[in-house]
Amino acid sequence: MKPIRFLIFDFDGTLADTADGIVATAQETLRRMGVPDVPPEVIRGTIGLPLGTSLRIAGELPPEKEAEAVATYRELFACLELSRIRIYPGVAETLAAFAAQDIPMAIATSRGPNSLERILSGWGLSGYFPIRATSADGFPAKPAPDMVLALLERLKAPADETLVVGDTTFDIEMGNRAGCRTCAVTYGNHAGERLKTASPTWLIDEFAALAAIT
């Protein structure tokens, strides 16, 4: 087996604990759309999908309401979501260690580029990820492999030397379909048993455990 020389990360639920902020913002968005009391677990189950898709599924909205829901969510982002976001334990230290080893790293996320940069910059992590694929790039949604395939090309990385790390089955299926090895983290939005159904190469309970894989 070839060594891992490149890393591609999901963001929400993998690097950053964004679930509480996403749930609160989505619930308020859906209230304003006339859909009260959507359970947190319903919203959490859609995290990782494109924002419009997530809101439409969680709120059982008609397709023509999706754009309005996204616009409302983005208006609420700064006051509801941003203040609740935290980086998971061990992320900053482990990323710094990978950077010291000159391991190229990229992000593949369904989040938009502006909110992603705002969060990364706020936690001093932006410099680790000069290469990113976001919702603004127009790729098919996870678990389609397109985001990872584009990042492999930009990184000049062979798939069999690249590890895709994520917290949902969407991430793991995306990496598997791109021909990469995959690592599922159990502390995010999908539980370990659900993650196993996507056949990750590795399953870990804390971010720092990545150091032993690479």
Q: Please, what sign has the CA dihedral across residues 151, 153, 157, 162?
A: positive
pTM, rounded to two decimals: 0.86
Residue 82 has pLDDT above 80, yes or no: no
Helix 66-76 vs helix 51-59: angle between axes, to the nearest 10 degrees? Answer: 110
Residue 134 class from Cβ within 10 Å (0-12 exposed, 13-18 middle, 19+ buried)? buried
pLDDT category at 45 given cuts 50, 70, 90 is: confident
pLDDT of the residue at 90: 97
Rg (CA), the chain: 17
Residue range 13-31: mean pLDDT, rounded: 93
pLDDT tens digits, 161-201: 999 999 999 999 999 999 999 999 999 989 999 999 999 99
Q: How far is CA 6 from CA 143, 146, 165, 188, in A?
A: 20, 17, 11, 22
Q: Which helix (H) or strand (E) holds 133?
A: strand 131-133
Given 1.10.12, 1.10.150, 1.10.287, 1.20.120, which CATH number is that of 19-84? 1.10.150
Domain boundaries, the chain: 6-17+85-213, 19-84
Q: Examine residue 143 and say whether the peptide bond preceding it is cis (omega within 30 degrees of 0).
A: yes
pLDDT of the residue at 214: 86
Residue 81 has pLDDT above 80, yes or no: no
Please tell me the distance from the alpha carbon of residue 118 to that of residue 92, in angstroms, as a whole number. 16
pLDDT tens digits, 86-127: 999 999 999 999 999 999 999 999 999 998 999 999 999 999
The dotted CATH code for 6-17+85-213 is 3.40.50.1000
